[in-house]
Structure 1
Amino acid sequence: MPIAIKMPALSPTMEEGTLAKWLVKVGDTVSSGDIMAEIETDKATMEFEAVDEGVIVSIDVAEGTEGVKVGTVIAQLAGEGEEAKPAAPARAAKAEPAPAPVPAASAPAPAPVAGAAPKGDRVVASPLAKRIAADRGVDLAGVKGSGPNGRIVKADVEAAQPGAAVAAPSAPLAAAVPAVAAAVPDFGIPYEAEKLNNVRKTIARRLTEAKQTIPHIYLTVDIRLDALLKLRGELNKALEADGIKLSVNDLLIKALAKALVRVPKCNVSFAGDELRKYSRADISVAVAAPSGLITPIVVDAASRGVAQISREMKALADKAREGKLMPHEYQGGTASLSNLGMFGIKQFDAVINPPQAMILAVGAGEQRPYVVDGALSIATVMSATGSFDHRAIDGADGAQLMQAFKDLVENPLSLVA
């Protein structure tokens, strides 16, 4: 009997994914550890390895198929001594293209079987949609389904207001993230439509939720960089033989982590009826990858040396751009750092990355008139803005963190002590 190869759960929260690419074909012999496919989750594209040895006898889900549920049979493998014939007629040839994705939500569920269409007062909805509706107090009887045959899917429930019969077009979430692409007029302007990948959908959903549900407070400080830049130059000369070249960002990661240790009231997250106070500063660092923004994590950055941070950050950034990060490398973190200084951006306000309660936005270091010891002079100055979740962090505590960060950057020897 052929072995069923099922869609794996590549992260603790993964419920479905996109089978981005098959690296094997029917008739190929695979061994344990061979890479069989590339699967796109909501954060990265990951390689799927074979566990058993045998011959591929059928491909049951075509590459490019979206919304493949965890546990779905995607291929079949004939083990040693077995006849290389699938257990059932191959379904790959009949594989239907995935339904058009709903922005910032999972792909619609497969079409229901005959007789599953709504009858009378019966409501047809996916199990996930029913669970979300129950949690949010949404009445499914009045929700219009966008799935096959009117089936209610996750996106329809997320667009509905708790206790409301139907999500009105003017509802906040529906206005921020249109339920269907057709709802956005093109005004006759020529354009090319590019289907959203899972990463971009997740970014859209999470940032919309963050701005709608988290009361942001923004605090900005100007910081002299001259001492930090001088120390960086000296360290790079000393580390040149080891092939290490520190960036300003490496030192800022260390500074933020130490600031969080000094001001532990900001190293927290809001979790409903409790406040989680972290005893370790794990810094999520924003990296622009081809598929979208992702935040690999430097774990326990406050206790790591700057050379170690530099090596680790380079390796994580490379993996992020290749879409090869493992879930534990980007899930978690206690605070985030986003640096747009390399683009000449002077100052900006970043959106908090939930469930974290703060993110630090760093602008470019530039020559500015600056008062030093009561006299006007020229200094290299950087503006940094902290975005804080006001449910978890008071303004005074956020101000203390920004002051601690400023002190560490302007007196950088403590970063290497």
Structure 2
Amino acid sequence: MAYPITIPKLGLTMTDCTLVEWMKQDGDRVAAGEILFAVETDKMVNEIEAERDGYLRRTAGPDTVHLVGDTVGYLHDSCEAALQDDPPRAPAAASSSRVEPAPSEEPERATPEGMVLSMQARTGDGTRLFISPVARTIASTHGLDIAELEGLGSGPGGAILKRDVERRLQAPKSVAAPAATPPAGATDAGPKRRPLAGMRRTIARRMMESLQGSAQMTAFGRVDMSGSVRLRQALVEREAEFGVRVTYTDIVVKAVATVLSQMPLINASIVGDEILEWPDANVGIAVALEEGLIVPVVQKADKKTLVEIARERKRLVDAARNGGLTQSDLSGGTFSVSNFGSYGGDFETPILNPPQSAILGIGQIVDEPVVRDGAIVIRPQMMLSMTFDHRLIDGAEAGRFRARLKAYLEEPALQMAVLR
């Protein structure tokens, strides 16, 4: 008997993931609890354990994208069954981005290469082609125009698979793809090529999905941080007592969470045809790693004190840099904060982290001349960059958010009036 191996749901907002690597080979004996494969979702890698004993037959290869619940392999009662030539058929595709066989075609079958095709491409004349992620990566690595593969696909519905690209690359030079013209000044060695994979590919995909799936607008503002500077200095002096050094990011997160608790429309998401107003202000904090940006979440920040936020922020940042984040650390965010000032930036245009509807970028704090009571004085100034989904949040509502945030940052004691 064959028992399906499916993609588990690892978080409340998880919908898909990338199968990164198999830890076992076809025909291998697997014990319940052993690591079977690894998936990447929300910019982190998770190891998936076998739920029962059996012999493995993989039906999806590495570097393929799958929805939650997709079947990627089977556990059989015997090695012979696992290595049979005709593996079990995969369930029907779960979304419109997958290959759908025509009624007259044989139903889609899974193969070790990964017949779950989530990638699509269009040729120059607009013709749509279906191509597996592995095939597309190989074509890109070798500078092969996907348009040249039209009509060569051997997969369901003419889908282009790995073997089709390899066959095209092995064709005689007379029919091989023409070499790309190198840019002026390029050396004979050509550019260094490497696949867009891992965390960088996840970031690229999510950024495109964010921009294509929402109406993003960015507004800017300036805050006099004199009050926040005094507050932080007082807290730093008591660092030994609190057990943590409070940062300006902590102060901003606390102020943001306070405003979110007052303005539920900012702390909301559009999901399908519904507006979901989240009960808690779960604030994500962008952390820059060598591989890319990751956003762990301070859960229920609106119900935490400033010192509690600082402790949680430190734990999350340390875990992110040491590879110790869990799926729950990355799930459930309702708003994000990105500190441009940590690398000398003043203001930029942050991109939404779906399904969140707003994100705040904060710049470095710089002493600048300003006018106060008719006199020019020097004050610590910080720029704010707020990107929001205009489908849900109007400019006026975003303006009210920034005004309240500015008030709490300039006069932190005002928050005491609304804290429960």
Q: Tell me the secondary structure at the aligned position of residue 401 of structure 2.
A: helix
The answer to whether the aligner puts 1:66 opposite 2:58 as a matched pair is no
Q: Give the structure 1 partner of residue 305 of structure 2.
A: 305
CA, structure 1 residues 291+61, in 2 after alignment: closer, same or farther (shift >3 Å)? farther
Number of residue-to-residue matches in the alignment? 354
Q: Give the structure 2 partner of residue 120 of structure 1.
A: none
Q: Give the structure 2 partner of residue 166 of structure 1.
A: 127
Q: Tell me the secondary structure at the aligned position of residue 347 of structure 2.
A: coil
Q: Is the 8 A contact 2:352 2:358 kept in 1?
A: yes
**Structure 1 residues 144-164: Cα deviation after superposition (integer angstroms, max 9, x where no partner):** xxx999x8932217x69xxx9
Q: 1:398: Cα distance to partner?
A: 0.5
Q: Give the structure 1 partner of residue 192 of structure 2.
A: 192
183-192 or 364-373: bigger deviation: 183-192
The amino acid of 2:118's aligned partner reads: K
TM-score normalised according to structure 1 size: 0.69
Q: Give the structure 1 partner of residue 201 of structure 2.
A: 201
Distance 1:244 1:294 in 2: 22
CA, structure 1 residues 165+46, in 2 after alignment: closer, same or farther (shift >3 Å)? same
Q: Tell me the secondary structure at the aligned position of residue 131 of structure 1.
A: coil
Q: 1:411: Cα distance to partner?
A: 0.8
The amino acid of 1:65's aligned partner reads: P
| % identical aligned pairs | 26
Q: 1:280: Cα distance to partner?
A: 2.2
Q: Is the 8 A contact 2:3 2:75 kept in 1?
A: yes
Q: Give runs of aligned pairs for residues 249-328 of structure 1, distance below 5 A.
A: 249-328=249-328
Distance 2:218 2:95 in 1: 38
Q: Give the structure 2 partner of residue 102 of structure 1.
A: none
CA, structure 1 residues 27+359, in 2 after alignment: closer, same or farther (shift >3 Å)? closer
354-363 or 284-293: bigger deviation: 284-293
Q: Give the structure 2 partner of residue 128 of structure 1.
A: 93
**Unaligned 5+ runs, structure 1:** 79-85, 95-111, 117-124, 141-146, 169-176
Q: Is the 8 A contact 1:269 1:275 kept in 2?
A: yes
CA, structure 1 residues 274+360, in 2 after alignment: closer, same or farther (shift >3 Å)? same
Q: Tell me the secondary structure at the aligned position of residue 325 of structure 1.
A: coil
Q: Give the structure 1 partner of residue 79 of structure 2.
A: 87
CA, structure 1 residues 388+187, in 2 after alignment: closer, same or farther (shift >3 Å)? same
Distance 2:73 2:116 in 1: 24
**Structure 1 residues 37-65: Cα deviation after superposition (integer angstroms, max 9, x where no partner):** 6543353112345666x8xx967669993
Q: Tell me the secondary structure at the aligned position of residue 380 of structure 1.
A: strand
CA, structure 1 residues 342+62, in 2 after alignment: closer, same or farther (shift >3 Å)? farther
Q: 1:406: Cα distance to partner?
A: 0.6
Q: Is the 8 A contact 1:10 1:327 kept in 2?
A: no
Q: Is the 8 A contact 1:42 1:198 kept in 2?
A: no
Q: Give the structure 2 partner of residue 11 of structure 1.
A: 10
Q: Give the structure 1 partner of residue 366 of structure 2.
A: 366
CA, structure 1 residues 224+21, in 2 after alignment: closer, same or farther (shift >3 Å)? farther
Distance 1:64 1:254 in 2: 44
Q: Is the 8 A contact 1:35 1:48 kept in 2?
A: yes
**Structure 1 residues 272-329: Cα deviation after superposition (integer angstroms, max 9, x where no partner):** 4333233321112212234432221112211101121112122222333344433332
Let me know the Cα RMSD of the aligned residues: 4.5
Q: Give the structure 2 partner of residue 173 of structure 1.
A: none
TM-score normalised according to structure 2 size: 0.69
Q: Is the 8 A contact 1:284 1:333 kept in 2?
A: yes
Distance 1:155 1:27 in 2: 30
CA, structure 1 residues 205+72, in 2 after alignment: closer, same or farther (shift >3 Å)? closer
Q: Give runs of aligned pairs for residues 85-124 of structure 1, distance below 5 A.
A: 87-88=79-80
The amino acid of 2:127's aligned partner reads: V
Q: Give the structure 2 partner of residue 105 of structure 1.
A: none
Q: 1:201: Cα distance to partner?
A: 2.5
Distance 1:242 1:152 in 2: 52
Q: Is the 8 A contact 1:19 1:39 kept in 2?
A: yes
Distance 1:153 1:38 in 2: 19
